[in-house]
């Protein structure tokens, strides 16, 4: 859904207005840590950031709205989530997950990365178990059989 056209021509550093109207909803800009984690990145969740992203809340519709500044100087609502008291961090995580999954700039398959990391961890656990069996488990079992 396309939103308001802005007169500014520099899209590399968007100047998000205080209020924005899109899809018949009047939305108010959100500032602070949530926006910083969307625009500058969140290393905990693996998001590199995108300074074209803004966060708005539509009080009447009780929705969080993630918007992106487009090349044609308009805003596009990327996704929304219900705005309820205390759900800001859950919404932020869901928005970042959405962005990671749909970000074509990354040029990587996130599922393959996760699978590779999991396989590496499983291999380490299995190697540690085998080493423990050889170094401690087998000698203890042998000593128990001989003593018993």
User: How does pLDDT run across 58-106, given as a tens digit for each residue?
Assistant: 887 688 999 988 878 788 888 889 988 888 888 888 999 888 877 766 5
Query: Is it the case that residue 124 has pLDDT exceeding 80?
Result: yes
In the listed set 90, 106, 122, which residue is the last one of a domain according to the structure?
106
The tally of domains found in the chain comes to: 2
Q: Are residues 115 and 85 in the same domain?
A: no
pLDDT at residue 125, as a whole number? 92
pLDDT at residue 5, as a whole number? 46
Q: Are residues 101 and 112 in the same domain?
A: no
Q: Are residues 16 and 89 in the same domain?
A: yes
Q: Are residues 14 and 86 in the same domain?
A: yes
Q: How far apart are CA 39 and CA 49, in angstroms?
A: 5
With contact defined as beta carbons under 8 Å apart, do 96 and 45 qualify?
yes
Q: Are residues 54 and 8 in the same domain?
A: yes
Q: Are residues 112 and 98 in the same domain?
A: no
Q: Which domain holds residue 71?
A: 2-106
Summarised one tens digit per residue, pLDDT across range 7-17 is: 444 445 677 88
pTM of the shown model: 0.60
How high is the mean pLDDT of the chain? 80
Query: What is the DSSP code (8-state) at residue 43?
Result: T
With contact defined as beta carbons under 8 Å apart, do 34 and 55 qualify?
yes
Q: Which among 61, 66, 53 is positioned nearest to 83, based on CA atoms?
A: 61
Rounded to an integer, the average pLDDT of 113-128 is 86
């Amino acid at each position: 859904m396309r939103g308001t056209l802005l007169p500014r021509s520099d899209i590399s550093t968007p100047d998000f207005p205080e209020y924005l109207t899109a899809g018949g909803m009047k939305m108010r800009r959100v500032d602070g840590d949530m926006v910083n984690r969307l625009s500058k990145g969140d290393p905990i969740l693996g998001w590199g950031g995108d300074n074209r992203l803004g966060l708005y809340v539509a009080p009447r519709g009780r929705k969080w709205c993630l918007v992106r500044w487009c090349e044609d100087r308009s805003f596009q609502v990327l996704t929304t989530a219900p705005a309820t008291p205390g759900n800001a961090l859950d919404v932020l995580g869901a928005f970042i997950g959405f962005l990671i999954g749909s970000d074509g700039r990354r040029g990587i398959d996130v599922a393959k990365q996760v699978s590779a990391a999991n396989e590496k961890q499983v291999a380490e656990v299995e190697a540690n178990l085998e080493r423990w069996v050889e170094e401690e488990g087998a000698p203890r079992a042998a000593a128990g059989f001989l003593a018993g």
